Structure 1
Amino acid sequence: MQVYSSSLIIDKQAQLPVYIQLANQLMAMVKAGTLQPGHRLPSTRQLATWLSLHRKTVIRAYDELLAQGWLQSHTGSGTFVAGHLPVTKPRPLIHNSPDVAKIAGFSIKEAPHLQRKIVDLNIDLHLDDGFPDTRLAPVTELSRAYRTQLLTGNPYTRLGYADPKGSEWLRTELATYLNITRGLRVTPANILIVRGTVMGLYLTCTGLLQHGDTVVTAEPGWAGAEANFLQAGANLLKVPVDEYGLDVDRLDELCSRQTVRMVYVTSHHHYPTTVALRPDRRVRLLELAQKHGFIVFEDDYDYDFHYQNKPLMPLASADDAGMVLYCGAFSKSISPAIRVGYLVGPENVIEHLGQLRRTIDRQGDSMLENAMAELLQNGVIQRHLRKSLRVYQQRRDFFCGLLNDNLKNYVQFKVPEGGMAVWTYFDSGIDLNRLAQNALKKGLYFQGENSPLSPNFTRLGFASSTPTELEQCVAVLAKLLEK
């Protein structure tokens, strides 16, 4: 009795049913060697009395352990710990140990490129990396369309398995939309629906790169893309970016010395500097792709927001040789929570990557995808983007005016032609990371130095804040810098 009363602790107020608590704790006693194989358990009546439980609760716990093979019942003799279990050397039971499941019993190889901090943006003021204002998102229309997908149609197909390449309806609507807005010439067979650009990158790296392949990115560049290339075992090389985008002459020189498998580029608004790849360099990049046989992965993360004139057409629109994989997502144009993106490429590549997608994600959220298809078909997304474009342009102009009026002695920048952030240089005498830490104490988030290779540069996102909020952000920075 003493063994059971000291080892079994039942909380009748807990959400977990009492019989499950009892079964789990008896199982733990067996695992710890407190109860050895062949040990006879108390009768259900005895144990119920000792623990002040209803006898039926104990019966259910015993039945659960009998079904799982931990106990054996012999008619007329009682209930015993199963004899086929291995004998375990008794060790003390530790209830609610804080160390349980923190450290694995096996080794893992740490990967420095995966050690990327996750930022908590639950803060009132933010000059973020360039995120949309989710308050503008067409949530009412989206929720209505999603509800329709949940409640109408054949439930077997509506709530069942679907094509791993994504909703056929959404791929059809996207083909029309991309052909009109981006000058592409694609069909639904050229489109793979993904949960965002990162998933498109991951599938591309896993499906098209071999360990040791060389991938070229821009310098400075996006750590998220570089992490995927390094995780795939690629040899990562970098080509500088100037005021006209990626230096394609340097790329040509590099390709003449070694085989390059893929070039990653953010051609429309280079991340993080926001500069556009000049038209002559776009033509040259496509020529180099054919000449040297490398894949061009075109990440068009914020194509919809270009303010000076009409956006430049993507590289994919002029790709006649099937060298470009074009990727975009609604997470940057509507909301990060809308995990719907698209990877566009030759049909055989999309088929191959669609098969690969099944190994990590059988399919996406078909109801969300169909809801997005409905919004595209009805023009809701197009109207949202036109409205957001006007709002973000006004915020860009207002924010740049604030920087000039209040921080001109501390920062330098060029007004971006597009995108949702300003690539900003802080005076070399300013400790940018320390400034970011002090700003956070005042309720303002910005990411500090963008990378060690871009000293005292950072992106200051304006799109997700109202003019009033932008004024408050700049006021916090001005006060800290004037100290």
Structure 2
Amino acid sequence: MSSMADIPYKSLVQINRESATPVFRQIADQFIHFIQRGYLIADAKLPGTRALSQLLGVHRNTVIAAYEELEVQGWIKSLPNKGTVVLHGFNNRPLKIQSSQSAVINQYPQQTGFHFEQTNILDNPFEFSGCEYVLNDGAPDIRLLQMDDLSRVYSSNLKRKSNRKKLTGYNQEGSEYFKANLCNYLNLSRGLHISGKNLLITRSTEMSVYITSRILLSEGDLVLVADLSYFSMNMIFQKNGAVIKTVPVDREGIDVEAIADICRLHRVRMVYITPHHHYPTTVTLSAERRIRLLQLAAEQGFIILEDDYDYDFHYNKSPVLPLCSADTAGMVVYTGSFGKSLAPGFRTGFLVAPENLMAEMRKYLGIIDRQGDILMEQALGEMIQEGEIHRYLRKSLKVYQERRDYFAQLLQTHLPDEVTFEVPTGGLAFWLEWNKRPNLLQLSKQCAQNNLFMPKTLLYQNQQLAAMRVGFGSLSFEEMEKVIHILQKSIDL
């Protein structure tokens, strides 16, 4: 048996008086660690409660409670005339505790004891900074949100008795009420003709594309993306074994004839596009190319994965309807996000596809998101039905259009020779091409020294191009002025 002298309890048992975990539980948990790691073996005798309480500097009743917890969990047993002994554990000699182990015995292992395949494809590309001013790729301004109204809608749904039964079980199918309202919303705003059978609710666009890729792509499948494309989606395609080939983009969007040329030489499985406002350049796919792309997909049998990431943000005219609205051959899988003008916690993703594909997609959703978020979906459905979403959009669009125009004015006034751009007809970002092609990484470092953070994911540079995607939606007029001033100052250095 291990004796009391074998285990330096006083130095090994660490008690945190500030922790929310009761002291007796802290002691019990650490004794379990000693047993599981082989420092206390089966039949090892534990110190008496009085002796251990003196060693640890705690009340005896605390130790008694710890021993009772260990006995309830089946780790120890109090035996008549023998004291308290360990019931389960290693049966050989206890591991010897070195003096250097005392401080680290409760630390979690830093590395696995087994081999696993590691990948750099999914390395997190996002960066963070403590700079006062931060650029993004077109995020909305959460300061514009009516949080009280959002909280009220959510709270009322939480309190509603009719919702309680829905919250007691799993619901991978999502709220039928929300799906019905979202279908109406999409049909009215985007010219679709869908029912709930064509709709899948997800957590984000990334989840939607991941599910689509898992079902529709196999190892070695050829996926075409724009020459400049959204990096997160490329990561997903590559992780699923697809081969990515890029297609040029011009002022009319992705070059559809270049896609046709590739189809003559290779079997294309999927074309990923952001036709409403191409990411990152913001150009809109022309009507002629839309018709040609749908025809080509039907002829060649490839899937069009249409990502409509910012459809709700348009200023000068009615938005161009998605390709999905004109698809009669079932070649388009349509994805987007709902509630982008709301707080991140109130947003959701969605997928639209023919019924047979949707049935398969629901199987995958049932594995990765079986629980769903029925309460949030009920709240969002209510906001659609009561017209709250339209009111939020009308209010926010007016502000964003004013910010877009002011940002364009600042660029024209302060950086007329440095950048070329077109005022975007929608979305929350500008595409700026630098005329003199400065080193953008060096520029970003210089801006950081002046308290402006420009993430690498916004920078696009090669031998022919030096450009940036710069979001304006999250910046006030004063912040825009400061950003332009820092850019002007940094580019002159």
- What TM-score do the two structures reach when normalised by structure 1? 0.94
Q: Which residue of 1 aligns with 2:310?
A: 302
Q: Is 1:438 aligned to residue 446 of structure 2?
A: yes
Q: Which residue of 1 aligns with 2:471?
A: 461
Alignment check: 8 A CA contact 1:33 1:90 kept: no
Q: Which residue of 1 aligns with 2:186?
A: 178
Q: Which residue of 1 aligns with 2:154?
A: 146
- Report deviation, 1:81: 1.9
Percent of residue pairs bearing the same amino acid type: 39
Q: Which residue of 2 aligns with 1:473?
A: 483
Give deviations 1:146-180, integer Å, cap 9, x for gaps.
01110012354242235313211111111111111
Q: Which residue of 1 aligns with 2:96?
A: 90
Query: Structure 1 unaligned runs (5+)?
Result: none
User: Counterparts of 2:29 and 2:388 in 1: how far apart (Å)?
Assistant: 52
Aligned partner of 1:364 among 372, 382, 385: 372
Q: Is 1:16 aligned to residue 21 of structure 2?
A: yes
Give deviations 1:337-366, integer Å, cap 9, x for gaps.
333121111122222211211111113221
Q: Is 1:119 aligned to residue 124 of structure 2?
A: no
| Compared CA separation, residues 239 and 99, structure 1 to 2 (3 A) | farther
Query: Structure 2 unaligned runs (5+)?
Result: none
Aligned partner of 1:73 among 70, 78, 81: 78
Aligned partner of 2:204 among 187, 196, 208: 196
Q: Which residue of 1 aligns with 2:401?
A: 393
Aligned partner of 2:59 among 54, 61, 64: 54
Map 1:219-234 onto structure 2 (within 5 A): 219-234=227-242
Give deviations 1:192-248, integer Å, cap 9, x for gaps.
111110010111111222222222111110001001111111122221111111111
| Alignment size in residue pairs | 483
Q: Which residue of 2 aligns with 1:38?
A: 43
- Comparing 166-175 with 206-215, greater Cα deviation is found at 206-215
Equivalent position SS for 1:261: strand
AA of the residue aligned to 1:457? A
Q: Which residue of 1 aligns with 2:69?
A: 64
Alignment check: 8 A CA contact 1:300 1:328 kept: yes
Equivalent position SS for 1:341: strand
- Report deviation, 1:294: 1.6
Alignment check: 8 A CA contact 2:224 2:272 kept: yes
Q: Which residue of 2 aligns with 1:450?
A: 459
Alignment check: 8 A CA contact 2:16 2:23 kept: yes
- Comparing 15-24 with 243-252, greater Cα deviation is found at 15-24
Equivalent position SS for 1:308: coil
User: Counterparts of 1:243 and 1:374 in 2: how far apart (Å)?
Assistant: 40
User: Counterparts of 1:479 and 1:86 in 2: how far apart (Å)?
Assistant: 72
| Compared CA separation, residues 338 and 439, structure 1 to 2 (3 A) | farther
Alignment check: 8 A CA contact 1:126 1:465 kept: no
AA of the residue aligned to 1:450? L
Q: Which residue of 1 aligns with 2:332?
A: 324
User: Counterparts of 2:163 and 2:138 in 1: how far apart (Å)?
Assistant: 39
- Report deviation, 1:114: 1.1
User: Counterparts of 2:181 and 2:127 in 1: how far apart (Å)?
Assistant: 34
Map 1:406-445 onto structure 2 (within 5 A): 406-445=414-453
User: Counterparts of 2:103 and 2:15 in 1: how far apart (Å)?
Assistant: 12
Alignment check: 8 A CA contact 2:440 2:461 kept: no
Alignment check: 8 A CA contact 1:162 1:366 kept: no
User: Counterparts of 1:23 and 1:80 in 2: how far apart (Å)?
Assistant: 14
Give deviations 1:260-285, integer Å, cap 9, x for gaps.
22211101000001011111111111
AA of the residue aligned to 1:30? I
User: Counterparts of 1:341 and 1:8 in 2: how far apart (Å)?
Assistant: 48
Alignment check: 8 A CA contact 1:399 1:462 kept: yes
Equivalent position SS for 2:425: coil
